[in-house]
Structure 1
Amino acid sequence: MSAAPTPTLDEIRDWPATVNVPEAARAIGISKSHFFELIKRGEAPVSVLSFGARHRVVTASLVRLLEGA
């Protein structure tokens, strides 16, 4: 099974207000395990909402990150 293709910036702009960590990781080109580690260390490059052990990434912050890349 191959990984899903990296979404385009236009596709990301159409995403809901928040997305799960695996989807956000795919958008910025890192593994979900690395993204979870960044969240754990407080070093995520985007805004993350945490609800106990659950995390959601703010789509607008993904767009800002990718626009600046």
Structure 2
Amino acid sequence: MSMQPTLDEIRTWAATVDVCKAAAALGISKSHLYELIKRGQASFRIELFGNRYRVITASLLRYLEEG
């Protein structure tokens, strides 16, 4: 994803998104987001499904709207 999505675009996303998509919404690299997750410093809900992290879209939206 090359451009940072708008809040309206994010509102159309599925209930969960992968780390790459969430990182694009935040305007950071996916490696930075993985590091935040690893340190427990993500300010929104992250769920582990099998061996993959998924970001809860509603939680991500709340975080972005507050910022």
Bin of the TM-score, shorter chain as denominator length: over 0.9
Unaligned runs of 5+ in 2: none
- Mapped to 1, the partners of 2:66 and 2:22 lie a distance apart of 16
1:37 is matched with which residue?
35
1:9 is matched with which residue?
7
Return the offset for 1:46. Answer: 1.2
* Cα RMSD (Å): 1.1
Return the offset for 1:52. Answer: 4.2
Q: Please give the TM-score of this superposition, normalised by the length of structure 2.
A: 0.93
- Runs of 4+ deviating beyond 2 Å: none
How many residue pairs get aligned? The number is 67
Percent identical residues: 60
Flag the structure with larger Rg. Answer: 1
Q: Match of 2:65, as an amino acid? A: E
2:17 is matched with which residue?
19
Q: Please give the TM-score of this superposition, normalised by the length of structure 1.
A: 0.90
Unaligned runs of 5+ in 1: none
